[in-house]
Amino acid sequence: MAKLKGILLTEGMHGMLSQVEGLAKALEIDFTHHTVELNHFWKLIPPNLSPVSQSVFKKINHDDFDVIISCGRKSVIPSIHLKKKANKKVFNIHIQDPKVNLNHFDFIVAPEHDSIDGKNVISTKGAIHYLTESEINENKDYLQSFIKKDQRQVWTLILGGPTKYYDYSIKNIKNIFTVLDKLLKKHDFQLVVIPSMRTPINTIHYAKQFFGDNHTVIMDVDKKAYLSALAIAENIIVTCDSSSMISEAALTGKPIYVANILPKKNDKRFQRFRNLFRELNITRVLGEEIENWNYQKLDETNRVANIIKQKINS
């Protein structure tokens, strides 16, 4: 049987791309990416107040598809419109809460901490993503030419970036680095610092200055370095602003410490996510007593894909 064809609709942000691409790969469909652009003042109007019309968004020049996978507010109306206008049966899947009637979609994939209920809702523990165990293992040796050649255990620090909830001020970052510095001196481990697309350049330079030449700071966004750092780490630290990267790290089954930042505004939704991961024995808070623990590797992307495959095939 020929592969199904899919189109992926996002606003172009890395976290969204990771989710739609991860699901598309797990569904084993051929796919193309499309960055959604809304027209005029529709950029300011929420989806539940927008008409399901081509006038809302710039035309997506693609008309041969069986599956639409969308993520983010801007992609809600395009997904509904393209499904309605298709001249054949099309399945549309939206990742995250679309904030419209859920019946516009065949499937909604949303994390448990979003508290969405519906017969077409598939709840996930954390965020789905595009990482796979095989990809992590294949890149294990990539950092060998970067890191220090000694017998110290490797710990990986994964940095997110500022959001409307969390500020990457020098004060906040220094608090995290100071806690880490005490730990690495006490336990004699080697730190590898990995930035992401959202990490401010001044934060990366500050990490280089703070930790010095005895540790490794990757200065550029480098997916292979990220994968390698996950593979070689004894323990993983992720900043609290990135639920997606905490979810990605949980694919390794390794201890994960969350580096907390005091929120600028109510972050209850993120607290629910972190509380869930703690209850699942996946995470601890950076600054707690260092310990080793195990948990079942979290591979929600393939679990969700298998549910969707069964329903599409039936």
Comparing C-alpha atoms, which of 288, 146, 284, 152 is closest to residue 224? 146
Q: What is the Cα–Cα distance from 33 to 63, expressed in whole angstroms?
A: 13
As to burial, measured by CB atoms within 10 angstroms (0-12 exposed, 13-18 middle, 19+ buried), residue 180 is: buried
Alpha helices in 139-267 (DSSP H): 170-187, 201-211, 223-232, 243-249
Other CB atoms within 10 Å distance of the CB of residue 195? 24
pTM value is 0.90
Comparing C-alpha atoms, which of 121, 113, 126, 12 is closest to residue 70? 12
Q: What is the Cα–Cα distance from 250 to 82, expressed in whole angstroms?
A: 35
Domains of the chain with bracketed CATH? 5-125+301-313 (3.40.50), 133-285 (3.40.50.2000)
pLDDT tens digit string along 231-247?
Answer: 999 999 999 999 999 99
Per-residue pLDDT, 149: 83
Per-residue pLDDT, 43: 94
Per-residue pLDDT, 267: 94
Q: What is the Cα–Cα distance from 54 to 62, expressed in whole angstroms?
A: 14
Q: In the block, which residue shows the tokens 């005490």? A: 182
Q: What is the Cα–Cα distance from 75 to 116, expressed in whole angstroms?
A: 19
**Exposure pattern of 260-284 as b/e (b: 16+ CB <10 Å)?**
bbebeeebeebeebbebbeeeebbb
Q: What is the Cα–Cα distance from 175 to 170, expressed in whole angstroms?
A: 8
Spans of the chain below 70 pLDDT: 1
For residues 149 and 160, the answer to whether their CB atoms sit within 8 Å is no
Q: In the block, which residue shows the tokens 């109007």? A: 45
Q: What is the Cα–Cα distance from 81 to 116, expressed in whole angstroms?
A: 23
pLDDT tens digit string along 5-33?
Answer: 999 999 998 889 999 999 999 999 999 99
What is the chain's length? 314
Q: What is the Cα–Cα distance from 233 to 125, expressed in whole angstroms?
A: 23
Q: Where are the beta strands (DSSP E) in the chain?
A: 5-10, 30-35, 67-71, 91-95, 107-111, 121-124, 153-158, 189-194, 216-217, 235-239, 256-259, 283-285
Q: In the block, which residue shows the tokens 């789905």? A: 128
Tokens of 145: 């030419």
Q: Tell me the angle at which helices 201-211 and 170-187 cross, rounded to the nearest 10 degrees.
A: 30
For residues 206 and 170, the answer to whether their CB atoms sit within 8 Å is yes
Per-residue pLDDT, 13: 87
As to burial, measured by CB atoms within 10 angstroms (0-12 exposed, 13-18 middle, 19+ buried), residue 88 is: exposed
Dihedral over Cα of 44, 47, 49, 50: its sign: positive
For residues 47 and 73, the answer to whether their CB atoms sit within 8 Å is yes
Tokens of 90: 């099309």
